[in-house]
Amino acid sequence: MKAVDHSKEFGCTLVEMRSLMEARGAEAIVRLSTEHDGVEGLCKKLKVDPVRGLSNNAVELDRRRAAFGSNTIPPAKSKNFARLVFDACRDPTLIILVAAGFVNLALSFYEPEMHSPVDEETVTAAALVVGELMSNSTLGRRGCRIASLPLSVP
Protein backbone atom coordinates (compact mmCIF):
# COMPACT_ATOMS: atom_id res chain seq x y z
CA MET A 1 0.00 0.00 0.00
CA LYS A 2 1.34 3.40 -0.98
CA ALA A 3 1.88 5.97 1.78
CA VAL A 4 -0.32 9.03 1.30
CA ASP A 5 0.96 12.49 2.18
CA HIS A 6 -1.79 14.02 4.33
CA SER A 7 0.21 17.12 5.27
CA LYS A 8 -1.21 19.00 2.26
CA GLU A 9 -4.75 18.56 3.64
CA PHE A 10 -3.96 20.78 6.58
CA GLY A 11 -2.84 24.39 6.46
CA CYS A 12 0.60 23.66 7.89
CA THR A 13 3.12 20.85 7.79
CA LEU A 14 4.75 18.83 10.55
CA VAL A 15 7.95 20.86 10.18
CA GLU A 16 6.03 24.12 10.59
CA MET A 17 4.23 22.78 13.67
CA ARG A 18 7.51 21.63 15.26
CA SER A 19 9.09 24.99 14.56
CA LEU A 20 6.12 26.79 16.11
CA MET A 21 6.15 24.53 19.19
CA GLU A 22 9.87 25.15 19.74
CA ALA A 23 9.32 28.92 19.85
CA ARG A 24 8.96 30.34 23.36
CA GLY A 25 7.67 33.53 24.95
CA ALA A 26 7.10 36.62 22.85
CA GLU A 27 8.57 34.96 19.75
CA ALA A 28 5.87 32.29 19.87
CA ILE A 29 3.11 34.87 20.20
CA VAL A 30 4.47 36.93 17.30
CA ARG A 31 4.90 33.90 15.05
CA LEU A 32 1.47 32.55 15.92
CA SER A 33 -0.19 35.87 15.12
CA THR A 34 1.80 36.67 11.96
CA GLU A 35 2.14 33.24 10.36
CA HIS A 36 -1.17 31.69 11.39
CA ASP A 37 -3.50 34.62 12.21
CA GLY A 38 -3.56 33.70 15.90
CA VAL A 39 -4.98 30.66 17.62
CA GLU A 40 -8.26 30.82 15.71
CA GLY A 41 -6.39 30.92 12.40
CA LEU A 42 -4.22 27.95 13.35
CA CYS A 43 -7.28 25.98 14.41
CA LYS A 44 -8.90 26.81 11.08
CA LYS A 45 -5.81 25.66 9.15
CA LEU A 46 -5.66 22.42 11.13
CA LYS A 47 -9.42 21.90 10.76
CA VAL A 48 -9.94 21.71 14.51
CA ASP A 49 -12.80 23.14 16.51
CA PRO A 50 -11.18 25.46 19.11
CA VAL A 51 -13.85 24.56 21.68
CA ARG A 52 -14.43 20.83 21.11
CA GLY A 53 -10.99 19.85 19.81
CA LEU A 54 -10.52 16.82 17.58
CA SER A 55 -13.37 14.53 16.62
CA ASN A 56 -13.39 10.92 17.78
CA ASN A 57 -13.60 9.67 14.20
CA ALA A 58 -10.97 6.93 13.83
CA VAL A 59 -10.37 7.63 10.14
CA GLU A 60 -9.82 11.34 10.84
CA LEU A 61 -7.44 10.53 13.72
CA ASP A 62 -5.47 8.14 11.48
CA ARG A 63 -5.13 10.85 8.80
CA ARG A 64 -3.82 13.28 11.41
CA ARG A 65 -1.37 10.69 12.76
CA ALA A 66 -0.17 10.09 9.21
CA ALA A 67 0.32 13.83 8.68
CA PHE A 68 1.75 14.86 12.05
CA GLY A 69 2.78 11.65 13.79
CA SER A 70 1.73 10.36 17.18
CA ASN A 71 1.59 12.79 20.10
CA THR A 72 4.08 11.03 22.38
CA ILE A 73 6.65 12.19 24.88
CA PRO A 74 10.02 10.42 24.61
CA PRO A 75 11.15 8.72 27.83
CA ALA A 76 13.69 10.67 29.86
CA LYS A 77 17.23 9.34 30.11
CA SER A 78 17.98 7.73 33.44
CA LYS A 79 20.79 9.13 35.56
CA ASN A 80 23.93 7.13 36.24
CA PHE A 81 24.95 6.19 39.80
CA ALA A 82 27.54 8.97 40.15
CA ARG A 83 24.94 11.59 39.20
CA LEU A 84 22.47 10.14 41.71
CA VAL A 85 25.12 10.29 44.46
CA PHE A 86 25.95 13.89 43.54
CA ASP A 87 22.27 14.87 43.60
CA ALA A 88 21.77 13.09 46.92
CA CYS A 89 24.71 14.97 48.44
CA ARG A 90 22.84 18.22 47.81
CA ASP A 91 19.88 17.01 49.89
CA PRO A 92 19.66 19.08 53.13
CA THR A 93 18.61 16.06 55.21
CA LEU A 94 21.65 14.11 54.12
CA ILE A 95 23.93 17.09 54.77
CA ILE A 96 22.58 17.35 58.33
CA LEU A 97 23.03 13.60 58.88
CA VAL A 98 26.61 13.67 57.63
CA ALA A 99 27.42 16.76 59.71
CA ALA A 100 25.98 15.06 62.80
CA GLY A 101 28.09 11.99 62.06
CA PHE A 102 31.27 14.07 61.81
CA VAL A 103 30.43 15.91 65.04
CA ASN A 104 29.88 12.55 66.70
CA LEU A 105 33.21 11.30 65.31
CA ALA A 106 35.03 14.43 66.53
CA LEU A 107 33.52 14.09 70.01
CA SER A 108 34.68 10.49 70.19
CA PHE A 109 38.29 11.67 70.12
CA TYR A 110 37.54 14.06 72.98
CA GLU A 111 36.40 11.19 75.27
CA PRO A 112 38.18 8.14 73.84
CA GLU A 113 37.55 5.88 76.82
CA MET A 114 33.79 5.90 76.36
CA HIS A 115 33.44 4.99 72.65
CA SER A 116 35.48 3.48 69.88
CA PRO A 117 36.05 5.66 66.76
CA VAL A 118 34.86 2.70 64.69
CA ASP A 119 31.34 3.22 66.08
CA GLU A 120 31.21 6.80 64.83
CA GLU A 121 32.58 5.84 61.43
CA THR A 122 29.90 3.19 61.22
CA VAL A 123 27.22 5.74 62.16
CA THR A 124 28.52 8.15 59.51
CA ALA A 125 28.57 5.42 56.85
CA ALA A 126 25.09 4.28 57.87
CA ALA A 127 23.82 7.87 57.62
CA LEU A 128 25.22 8.12 54.10
CA VAL A 129 23.67 4.81 53.06
CA VAL A 130 20.27 5.56 54.62
CA GLY A 131 20.20 9.05 53.12
CA GLU A 132 21.12 7.71 49.70
CA LEU A 133 18.50 4.98 49.90
CA MET A 134 15.80 7.44 50.99
CA SER A 135 16.70 9.83 48.20
CA ASN A 136 16.79 7.11 45.55
CA SER A 137 13.56 5.48 46.74
CA THR A 138 11.77 8.83 46.57
CA LEU A 139 13.12 9.46 43.07
CA GLY A 140 12.22 5.90 42.09
CA ARG A 141 8.64 6.28 43.29
CA ARG A 142 8.30 9.57 41.43
CA GLY A 143 9.74 7.98 38.30
CA CYS A 144 7.31 5.06 38.53
CA ARG A 145 4.37 7.43 38.92
CA ILE A 146 5.51 9.47 35.94
CA ALA A 147 6.19 6.36 33.86
CA SER A 148 2.68 5.08 34.57
CA LEU A 149 1.11 8.18 33.02
CA PRO A 150 -0.24 7.75 29.49
CA LEU A 151 2.33 8.91 26.95
CA SER A 152 0.06 9.14 23.95
CA VAL A 153 -2.86 11.47 23.45
CA PRO A 154 -5.13 10.69 20.50
Confidence of residue 1 (pLDDT cuts 50, 70, 90): very low
Q: Check whether 23 has a pLDDT greater than 60.
A: yes
Q: In this predicted model, which residue has the larger pLDDT, 48 or 7?
A: 48
Determine the straight-line distance between the first and last CA of the chain, rounded to whole angstroms.
Answer: 24
CB 117, CB 108: distance < 8 Å = yes
H/E stretch holding 152 reads strand 152-153
Residue 153 phi/psi, 5-degree rounding, is -115, 125
Average pLDDT over residues 60-79: 80
Q: What is the pTM of this model?
A: 0.45
Question: What dihedral do alpha carbons 6, 31, 41, 150 form, nearest 10°?
Answer: 60
Alpha helix positions (H), the chain:
14-22, 25-36, 38-46, 58-68, 81-89, 92-110, 117-147
Average pLDDT, the chain: 76
* CA angle, residues 73, 65, 151, in degrees to nearest 5: 25
